[in-house]
Every structure is written in C-alpha cells, then in structure tokens.
A = this chain, B = another copy of it.
Amino acid sequence: MLISLVIGTTVSTIKDPTLSGRKLLILRQTDVDGKAFGKPYVAVDTLDAGVGDLVLTAHGSSGRMTELTKNKPVDAVIMAVIDHLEVGGKVTFDK
C-alpha cells in the first residue's frame, strides 16, 4: 500500500456504467510525514475520505477487494484513513 494525500476530486459524465455514483479522488504519494511527492493518480473512495486526508491505497487487483469496487474497472482504492504514523520511535504524522 502507498501512503498518500487526497488532493482533489474528479467529475466524469461519460464512464463505465458500473462506476455510476462512485467517488474518484485525486491523490499523491507522500513520505512518512505526509509530504506529497510524485505525480497525481486517482483512486476510488470507499471510506468517505476528503481532500487533506492522509490515507492508504491498495493497487492492482487488490483495489477491487472491497464491496464497492468488486469486479469494477478500477485499479486503486482507499482502504484506510491514517490517524498517525510512527517511525523510529517518533510520531511522524498525527491527524
């Protein structure tokens, strides 16, 4: 899983019919302190996450292992909202 920051939202009228009503958020991977790097990607939100939340995303076929994404043409899902991260005995991120 990747530690990622939710940075934005997408709107698509024309999409695969199985994705109707699914929320597709824009994210960027972060370091353990929640600082974003790299290029944006899009994941399905199943946990009512919002812009500014630090989350974990599962990719590939694992992105389809939730009730809302099963058998759908999506390859990334938010499966946890992070409360805090601890590295080397120090809290590096706290919600």
Contacts and interface: CB of A to CB of B under 8 A. Distances in A.
A43 B10 contact: no
A42 B1 contact: yes
Contacts of A41: 1-3
B83 A16 contact: no
- Interface size bracket, A side: 35 or more
Which among A3, A63, A75 has the highest number of chain B CB atoms within 10 Å?
A75
B85 A9 contact: yes
B65 A71 contact: yes
Contact of A73 (B12, B62, B84): B62
Contacts of A59: 60, 75
B13 A74 contact: no
